[in-house]
Structure 1
Amino acid sequence: MKIDIDHLLKDQKELIDCLHLIGEEGRRADLETYIVGGIVRDAFMGRPVTDLDIVVTGNGLDFADRVARALHARPVVKFHPFGTAMIPYKHIQIEIATARKETYRSDSRKPDVVFTDLTEDLRRRDFTINAMAVDIRPDHYGEFKDPFNGIRDLKVEVIRTPLDPEETFFDDPLRMLRAIRFATRFQYRISDDTFNAIKKTAERIQMISMERIRDELLKILMALQPSMGFILMENAGLLPLILPEISGMKGVEEKNGYGHKDVFYHTLKVVDNVCKMTDSMTVRLAALFHDVGKPPTKRFLPNQGWTFHGHEDVGARMFETIGRHLKLPIRQIKEIRKLIRLHLRPIAIAGDEVTDSAVRRLRVEAGDSIHDLLTLCRADITSKNPEKIREYQNNFDEVEKRIQVVEEKDRLRAFQSPVRGQELMEFYLIPPGPLVGKIKSLIENAILDGEIPNEYEAAKAWLVDHKDTVLEKAQKALSGKSNP
């Protein structure tokens, strides 16, 4: 079966030209040459492609040198044990690999590698939708290889392993998270036998380094609806092993007729909300952990119900440990801690009775994160009542206005009279001293009151027109006889 891969890639001319050149090099080297995995999958799905995965049935390292020379690309980065090489070329990352199969020992996820043919290479891949290949040699261009029915699974939108899923996940436990990541990213279903195998093999996730687990978690958080991935992780038994603080939020307790929100599902709703508002990973992580302090602060008070007093401060302290465990950058940990600690504060300054100093204090504490904080607060509205949602959103609109008003006041107060002190001394023939400062204050007040614009020519003209009056007011203010 042949497919029109150029048509599937549509307007990506640079990529198509690259395929033809690599295919021609494969013909010259007398090597079977295929594109495999993500590029084939994404081409069928109509998704943009930036990486090229190439498999050859021969020495991939030598072939990578040939391709790099033909492309006039930068030096090849080689990984000899796996027979793979990376070629950075323009906007494309090219990986060239020797067709191989891998076997694993029970106590390690480092494979023993044996070079083989294409079918065996596809057999070792994680999921059927990633186990398709297309020949790119000129005489075979477009020949489609799909021994595990990946195209069928793309059409029915299912994640399935090419081989026995228990064996697949036992050999490489990270693939359990990859299954959930792909399901979340594409909104696909994980087949029953594949999901059951994840549940049976979940404990082996603890063999994987936290850096690799973190990377999969961040990719899940970059999906349009990350909640799907976290629910799948919870149902599979993975979440208690990798993020027990999030899993521990699940459940509702009732007492004396009082209940509370399920913090787990509330949190996932906040995460989904925030993902519609921003691509910032810092804000998305803050949404995921913003209520992490609720379980340890939960208390029941008679005639009041359940409370979570201080959960924002407790959660911020908890995230310091969580962030380090996830190997997040220190700067990002600090930003997320700040967002967690302050996430209840903006709504408290929505009322008219709140002073400018309270608004200013929040603005200073939030610093450059103020807009991220307000985004998190808006995402935290998860009521099912449309009236309440409108009310809360209006409150945050008021908060933003209050912040803007206070910032404008502070900005205006920070300016200085456009007419400088030396010029005032020459204009009034007065020595340096408090009188000069009082005259400058009168000019600044005239600008703040809107009498004149904050411009030199306008201020100087106003001063000329009110020369004697201004001097008299300034003198009276200094003598205490009047207020300017």
Structure 2
Amino acid sequence: MCCARNHHEEPEITENPTGRADADERALRARLAARLLDLDATVGVLGRAFAEAGFELALVGGSVRDALLGRPMPDLDFTTDATPDEILRVIKPLAEAHWDIGREFGTIGLRLAGEQVEITTYRAEAYDPDSRKPQVAFGSSLEDDLVRRDFTIGAMAIRLPELTFVDPHDGFGDLLSRRLRTPGAPADSFTDDPLRMMRAARFASQLGFTVDADVFAAMRDMADRIGIVSAERVRDELVKLMKGAHPRRGIEVLVDSGLADHVLPELSRMREERDEHRRHKDVYRHSLTVLDQAVDLELERQEPDIESPDFIVRFAALMHDCGKPDTKRFEPGGQVTFHHHDVVGAKLVSRRMKALRFDKDTTKAVARLVELHLRFYGYGDAGWSDSAVRRYVTDAGPLLSRLHILTRSDVTTRNRRKAERLAHAYDDLERRITALQEKERLDAIRPDLDGKQIMALLDIPPGPLVGKAYAFLLEERMQHGPLGEEEAARRLRAWWESVQG
């Protein structure tokens, strides 16, 4: 399969080594040709510059895959027989900017014609069994470089400047078949870089592809090897998985392969527990359904304070019941309960995210959603006072939109009447929240008097008593709404007298 060689002409893939000529294949070929034409100011310029300097250059890996699929290409990846020093000599006269932070691994970065570019010397990587860092050895040919890549769909290249399509492992065919295979033996690939097992799950999520049986078997056999990979790299793959178009597929790959036992053991444990109403095979399956529904609601609602795809709400949906295994109790009559699993789950998910080196804000947000996910239940039966609605909003804080999504997604009952009743109840709660927000600005609830006013009114210095007085006024504000300064002062004096007396 090759493209037109004159860079002034529109690139066109003319060969069809797979023997297929269906609409999907033609669409992929046309998409790649059009993308290469659009990128001539970068791809063409670099290809001609390296050729004139006597070096090989190829667009490679994820860049070719994403061009074929019509996906965004935030970075362009190239590979070459030039060394890092030789790469720098070629690109310096062309680049708008360049950097060599990856020089140790043979990679030079640059910006050209507005595109972010990475150029890497042909290489082969291998992990020492006891090391977290790859050992880098430079290779000698494009074919050798391609065979060491993670999957066949990332082992395709475009030789430059002639625009020859190189696909020794039929990655093009695997794109059409929507499956993940490795260029060589899966065990060799995962030995070289165990993180590739996480990438298989991530691609299942992002692309909706199926993991080949041989690849999946190797993942099961080698799952414990993920332990040598740094927590930061595992975390980054997990985030990409959760933000994919099909996160459930990626999670199922993690769990079924045994990888989750090592990176998210709390998730694996959920398979052992049935929920108290026996609506689902197990809590794990329930959580997958909640995840599916959260993804759909996130896209449907398009909340202005949530940038979709949103890791926080999706991960909270997946992990909201992770406290159930530790809180399972058998009650008289055979009923199973999971009291306080929300609080326990919040602690568990916080601990796991810290182990995976998530930042504090993201960790706190997910844990808080897990802790609050049961708060709504009972609203439809007993009704809430305005005070309770205020507290719901205040406790959720900036996570309120996400809490709406999580709470609605957690309704998975097959009882239509019950589902409709819960949906109507939450509709009513949201209407009341909107009405109170318009009236009272619930997102900024404060007592009617600030700290300075409290100290002046009670004639007390800064200290714990001011905090207690402030907490009293905040509770009054929650219970009764805005009081005004005069009424707040009256109630504060009465409280102070009771404390003093």
TM-score bucket of the superposed structures, by smaller chain: 0.7 to 0.9
1:234 aligns with: 255
1:322 aligns with: 352
Report which stretch shifted further, 218-227 or 382-391. 382-391
CA shift, 1:390, in A, is 2.9
Letter in 1 for 2:54: D
Cα separation, 1, equivalents of 2:37 and 2:2: 20
Cα separation, 1, equivalents of 2:136 and 2:356: 29
CA shift, 1:320, in A, is 2.5
Preserved contact between residue 64 and residue 96 of structure 1 (Cα < 8 Å): no
Report which stretch shifted further, 79-88 or 187-196. 79-88
Residue deviations 1:143-189 (CA, integer Å, cap 9, x gap): 11111111111111111111111111122111111112112221111
Q: CA 1:338/1:106 → structure 2, altered by over 3 Å: closer, same or farther? A: closer
* 1:152 maps to 2:152: no
Cα separation, 1, equivalents of 2:151 and 2:86: 28
TM normalised by structure 2 equals 0.76
Letter in 1 for 2:405: T
* 1:219 maps to 2:243: no
Cα separation, 2, equivalents of 1:266 and 1:143: 49
CA shift, 1:304, in A, is 6.6
1:477 aligns with: none
CA shift, 1:351, in A, is 5.3
Report which stretch shifted further, 96-105 or 213-222. 96-105
Q: What secondary structure is seen at the aligned counterpart in 1 of 2:336?
A: strand
Which of residues 297, 305, 309 is equivalent to 1:277? Answer: 297
Q: Give the CA RMSD over aligned residues.
A: 2.4
* 1:289 maps to 2:309: no
Letter in 1 for 2:3: I
CA shift, 1:224, in A, is 1.9
CA shift, 1:259, in A, is 4.2
2:472 aligns with: none
CA shift, 1:131, in A, is 0.6
Preserved contact between residue 294 and residue 313 of structure 2 (Cα < 8 Å): yes
Cα separation, 2, equivalents of 1:383 and 1:314: 24
Preserved contact between residue 60 and residue 98 of structure 1 (Cα < 8 Å): yes
Which of residues 353, 360, 368 is equivalent to 2:398? Answer: 368
Q: CA 1:260/1:303 → structure 2, altered by over 3 Å: closer, same or farther? A: farther
1:96 aligns with: 119
Which of residues 51, 57, 66 is equivalent to 2:75? Answer: 51
Report which stretch shifted further, 100-109 or 232-241. 100-109
Cα separation, 2, equivalents of 1:329 and 1:190: 31
1:32 aligns with: 56
2:341 aligns with: 311
CA shift, 1:120, in A, is 0.5
Cα separation, 2, equivalents of 1:100 and 1:68: 22
Cα separation, 2, equivalents of 1:52 and 1:411: 47
1:409 aligns with: 439
Preserved contact between residue 347 and residue 396 of structure 1 (Cα < 8 Å): no
Q: CA 1:151/1:403 → structure 2, altered by over 3 Å: closer, same or farther? A: same
1:393 aligns with: 423
CA shift, 1:385, in A, is 4.1
CA shift, 1:104, in A, is 4.2
Q: CA 1:390/1:224 → structure 2, altered by over 3 Å: closer, same or farther? A: farther
Residue deviations 1:421-450 (CA, integer Å, cap 9, x gap): xxxxxxxxxxxxxxxxxxxxxxxxxxxxxx
Residue deviations 1:320-341 (CA, integer Å, cap 9, x gap): 2122112111122222222111
Letter in 2 for 1:164: A
Cα separation, 1, equivalents of 2:384 and 2:420: 21
1:118 aligns with: 142
CA shift, 1:360, in A, is 0.9
Cα separation, 1, equivalents of 2:419 and 2:40: 49
Residue deviations 1:15-36 (CA, integer Å, cap 9, x gap): 3321111112122112111100
* 1:79 maps to 2:102: yes
Unaligned runs of 5+ in 2: 5-10, 13-29, 299-308, 446-501
Preserved contact between residue 50 and residue 90 of structure 2 (Cα < 8 Å): no
2:479 aligns with: none
* 1:331 maps to 2:361: yes
* 1:266 maps to 2:266: no
Cα separation, 1, equivalents of 2:269 and 2:186: 28
Preserved contact between residue 259 and residue 305 of structure 1 (Cα < 8 Å): no
Preserved contact between residue 74 and residue 116 of structure 2 (Cα < 8 Å): yes
Residue deviations 1:259-287 (CA, integer Å, cap 9, x gap): 46411111111112212233221111211
1:19 aligns with: 43
Residue deviations 1:45-81 (CA, integer Å, cap 9, x gap): 222322111111222442244324213x113224333
* 1:244 maps to 2:265: yes
Letter in 2 for 1:115: G
Q: CA 1:227/1:28 → structure 2, altered by over 3 Å: closer, same or farther? A: same
Cα separation, 1, equivalents of 2:426 and 2:275: 31
Q: What secondary structure is seen at the aligned counterpart in 1 of 2:97?
A: coil
Cα separation, 2, equivalents of 1:145 and 1:291: 47
Cα separation, 1, equivalents of 2:128 and 2:402: 46
Which of residues 336, 352, 356 is equivalent to 2:386? Answer: 356
Q: CA 1:287/1:268 → structure 2, altered by over 3 Å: closer, same or farther? A: same
Q: CA 1:352/1:404 → structure 2, altered by over 3 Å: closer, same or farther? A: farther
2:25 aligns with: none
The share of aligned pairs that are identical, in percent, is 36
Preserved contact between residue 61 and residue 97 of structure 1 (Cα < 8 Å): no
Preserved contact between residue 106 and residue 121 of structure 2 (Cα < 8 Å): yes
Preserved contact between residue 64 and residue 76 of structure 1 (Cα < 8 Å): no
Letter in 2 for 1:206: G
Preserved contact between residue 152 and residue 180 of structure 2 (Cα < 8 Å): yes
CA shift, 1:136, in A, is 2.2
